[in-house]
Each structure stands twice: as structure tokens, then as C-alpha cells.
Structure 1
Amino acid sequence: IYSLRKKYDINYSTATLLANMGYYFILTLAFLIALKSIGLDLSSLAIVAGALSVGIGFGLQNIVSNFVSGIIMMFEKSIKVGDYIQIDQTTRGEVVDISMRSTVIKTNDNINLIIPNQTFIQNQVINWTMNDDIVRFRVPFGVAYGTDIDKMEKILLEELQKSNLPFIRSKNENLIPRIVFIEMGNSSLNFELFVWVNGKFARMPRRTRSKFLKFIYKKLNEYGFEIPFPQNDIHFRTPLEVKLEK
């Protein structure tokens, strides 16, 4: 199947699905032929298997659940080989294999995670590249009160277009970079830079966001925009004597 993939223009996820189905079909068929060849009556075996199915069902409940979940995932294709998915805040990576019992995810740290299939059926999973590999990144930053925000936004967007940062340069209204005013915080005016990213940079969210944060920090300093930090006033309820020594 894998050798014929390019000849018949079969994508990698479909080839993996066909290969896994073929493997289990051949395995089951070979098992039945082996039983028949040694003289076992399959009808009698079916009766015994039916009697034991209840007990085995309770003992192998998780295995059966993972098996059925794997079949659902393969046919549903909501998660495919090659997709970049996120399970929780710290677990994300590329799907490299989907078998009947588990799914293998390779993280950006080159660590393979073997996750039971029922996890993807029962829990919420974020698929970053389900239909395409275009992702919008939100890059937060803040400036001091009193900043000319219109001037700041204009400068950052103009400098962004001149940079070599990895974002989609398009005239499409939905894909152009934007700066959004989020809130007036305790110590700063808070903004978010919206940029659309695709390809390998969409699969490296932390490193990609780091590039844009560095860019914003450099440009704010270069054009003299103040980057605030939290400041607190301390009030003493009782008189305080302060002695200064040289």
C-alpha cells in the first residue's frame, strides 16, 4: 500500500488507514484458517466464545473501548496521520500513527506519546491542522498610559510588513495582520497582535510567538514607546521616622 501511494495519489493518512485495516484483516483470516487446518470446529468454538464473551467483556472493557475508538477515528478522519493536535495546555504534537488500540504523537521535543484511542473520543481535542495548516496567532503586549496608540499601531504594522517574520502576506481582508486594543489594565494599555501563520511555523507555536514578541519589543524601544511594569504606592497609617545616613 505504501509503495503504491504515490502512483495512485493516495495521501499518507489514507494509506495508513488501509494498511492498518489490511493488517488486522490478514491477521484475523490467518487465525481462522489456522484453527480450521488443525481440525477445530469453528461452530463449536463460536458457542464457547459466546459463553465466555460476558466475562471477557468485563475484563477487556478498556481494550475493546480503545479498539472501537480506533475504528471510529480511522473512518471519521477527524484526527489523521500528519495532523498537529493539542490534548491539553502542555501536550501537543504531530500524529505519526493511528493503530487499533492507541495513537502515537510526536512532540516538538521529539518525544513519542502513546495515547489510548478512547482519550480522543471521550475528551476534547484541538486539531490545529484538520482542514488546512493556517492558524491565527495572538501576540499580547502592553504600552504605557499616555501613548499615542494610533501612531504606535501604524508604526508596528508598517514595520511588520517590512520584516521577514513568518506570517501570511495577503490582500485578503480576513488574513491581514491587525492590532486589537484589549483593555486598560492596572499599569498598561494592553493590546494583541493578530497574525496568520501557516506551514511548519504553525506547528511551532511557542517559537513562532517568540519571534513576534522580540519584534514588538525591539520596535517599541526603537521608536521610544514606553513599556510599563507594575508599580505600587505604599501608605503608612502611623507616623514613620526616617533617618538618613551618609
Structure 2
Amino acid sequence: MRGILQDEPVNGVLPPTFPSLTEIALALAVLVAGWFLSKLAVRLAGRTVARRIERPSVTRTVLRGLKVAILSVSLVVAAATLGLSGGQILLQVTVISAVIAVVLAPLVGSLINGFFVLSDQPYEIGDMIEVTDEGHRGFVEDITIRYTKIFTLQNTFIVISNSEIQERDVINYSAEDERTRISVEFEITYESDLEGARRHAERAARSVDNVISGGPDIRIGSARYAAAPVCTISEYADDGIVLELFFWINHPYKQSITRSAVLTAIRERFLDTDVEFAYPHRHHVFDETSGIGQVAVDGPERPPEEENR
């Protein structure tokens, strides 16, 4: 029985003899050659794949898959060089896959969500997006089948797994058209010139860089919006009239700067007009139901004994 165990592989998995140094060196050479071959294949096929597949995220995924396929073939060839047969390799891959499926179940879920992100196309590399619940805003730097990398406007990187980003609300500011419509609110007094305030607010917005001053209407779905700034009455509040100014900007990543510039321009224009910003006022009215109030008159204070007389 001892002689039989020496002649046969253990459980049909391991070879009967340990690989020689020559076989080990040859296997390592195959792996190294496969590594360089995978990089060369990605470099040669990169432009062709990019021309046929217009989406950068899908292009990167295809090239990564090509690299993994070449490395897998190299690994199989190296295993065969060491004396492992196809059935033995398949058995080992099956055992390892079962272990990975149990241990890395969350990662598998993220990979599945990654395929949904690539197929649904909610955003693309280079798009400016915002994760609303976290307040993160920036540009998509990379999309893989495991995660999405965002380069924020604060010059930081955020990596979010695809399983998490699929469950969040994401705003894409540059999916098809980078032009973005934003608005600012301000309040003027009831005594101000209402029509003049609206007119000067629109002119102030048109004078700011990055604001679209006019042109053809901008279409969103079946609706059309005026490209030029438009100031409307929002509500009649307690302290004044609330106006809301809508305007379009060319680049979504300049929202804060443009909004501040528009508000500054509005204030400068109102300084030379019959328009005032409203602020809270309080009027105190006294009548016969208000009670009696004590009024102090300037003069020398009297001692309490004299006040009681």
C-alpha cells in the first residue's frame, strides 16, 4: 500500500513528484511573460476598443477583462508546466471558488451592482455628479465593476462601492448638457419699484460671466425654458416681496461662484435705484388695552423714601 501511495497523486490533486527547479523557473517565466503580454495587449487594443465603444467606463472594463483573461491563461499554462492536469486544475479552481463565494459574498454583490451601473449609464467618467444624502459633489474619475471614484471640488477623492451608490440619490449635472439652471432669492420692501427690481435683477445676472445672457430656448424633455435670466415673484411675505431670479450657467462646477457674483451684481444695481432690500420690522402699538407704562425722565435720582411719599 505504501508503494501505491508513492506512485499515485494524493487524492488525485497533487502530482506524484515535486516539480524540479527547471519546471518552477519555466512556470515563473510563463507568468512573467503573461503579465507583459497582458499589458501589451491592452496597449494595442486600447484605441480600437475605445473607438468601437464610446463609453470610457465600459472601455476600461473590457480592457481589464482582456488583461485578466490573458493572466488566467498564463496561470493555467504555468500550472500545466508544474505537472498539474486539467482535471486537477478544475478541481482546485472549484474549491477556491466555493471558498471565495462564501467569504467574499459582499464583494460579489458589489460586482453585480457594478454591472448595473455600467449598463444603466447613470453617469460616465468625466461627468459632474452629486451624492445628495452626503453632500459630495465632484467629477467621476473612474468606474469599475466594484466601485466608483469621485474627485470632489475640495480636491479630495471619494471611493464609493457600487452596492452603496446604487441605493443613493445621485444628481448628474453633465449627463447630456452641462448647462445648469439655478436660482437665487431675495426680498424687497413693499415700497420699492417692483417692476424696476425685476428688470435690474435680470440685467445684473446677464452681466456676470458664465451666465447665459440669451439665445434660443433650452429644452429639457418636452419643456422649454428661456435662456435669458428671468425674475419672478415668489411670494408676498411679512416683511416684503420675495423675488426669485432664474438663470442658466455654462459650467455646473461654478455654481457657488456664479451665485455669489449674481447677488453682488444685484446689490450694486439696487444702490442707484428706488429699490431696497427688506428686513424684519417690528411696530409697537399702544392703546387703551395696553396697560400702564412707567416712563423715566432724565434727572437726579430720588431716594426711595421720597418716592413713597
Q: CA deviation at 1:78?
A: 1.6
Distance 1:26 1:6 in 2: 15
Cα drift, residue 36 of structure 1: 4.8
Please state whether the residue corresponding to 1:136 is helix, strand or coil.
strand
- AA aligned to 1:45 is Q
Q: What residue in structure 1 maps to residue 262 of structure 2?
A: 212
> Are 2:100 and 1:48 equivalent residues in the alignment?
no
What's the offset of the Cα at 1:239?
3.4
Q: Distance in 2 between matches of 1:132 and 1:49?
A: 47
Higher helix proportion, which one? 2
Matched, 1:106 2:145: no
Partner of 2:271, secondary structure, is helix
Q: 2: distance between equivalents of 1:47 and 1:6? A: 35
The 5 Å alignment of 1:123-202 reads: 123-161=168-206, 163-173=207-217, 174=225, 175-199=227-251, 202=252
Deviations 1:203-242 (A, max 9, x none): 1221121111111121122213111112234679653323
Shift of 1:9: 7.8
Structure 2-normalised TM-score? 0.67
Matched, 1:64 2:108: yes
Supply the RMSD in Å over aligned alpha carbons: 3.1
Contiguous gaps of at least 5 residues in structure 1: none
State whether residues 12 and 81 of structure 1, in contact with CA within 8 Å, keep that contact through their aligned partners in structure 2: no
Aligned residue among 18, 24, 28 for 2:59: 18
Alpha-carbon distance in 1 for matches of 2:191, 2:58: 59
Q: Report if aligned partners of 2:125, 2:143 keep a CA contact under 8 Å in 1.
A: yes
- Tell me whether 1:243 sits opposite 2:290 in the alignment: no
- CA 1:35 to 1:159, structure 2 compared with 1: closer, same or farther past 3 Å? closer
Distance 2:110 2:298 in 1: 74
Deviates more, 1:231-240 or 1:29-38: 231-240
Give the whole-Å Cα distance in 2 for the aligned partners of 1:64 and 1:177.
49
Using a 3 Å threshold, how does the CA distance of structure 1 residues 158 and 34 change in structure 2: closer, same or farther?
closer
Structure 2 CA distance, aligned partners of 1:2 and 1:168? 42
Q: How has the CA–CA distance of structure 1 residues 234 and 65 changed in structure 2, closer, same or farther, with 3 Å as cutoff? A: farther
| Counterpart in the other structure of 1:228 | 278
Aligned length: 240
Q: Measured at CA, do residues 9 and 48 of structure 1 come closer, stay the same or move farther in structure 2, by a change above 3 Å? A: closer
Post-superposition shift, 1:87? 0.6
Q: Could you tell me the TM-score, scaled by structure 1's length? A: 0.82
Query: 1:32 and 1:8, CA in 2 relative to 1: closer, same or farther beyond 3 A?
Result: closer
| Conservation of the 8 A alpha-carbon contact between 2:179 and 2:249 | yes
- Structure 1 stretches of 4+ with a deviation exceeding 6 A read 1-9
Structure 2, gaps ≥5 residues long: 1-41, 218-224, 300-309
What fraction of aligned residue pairs are identical, expressed as a percent?
20
Bigger Rg, which one = 2
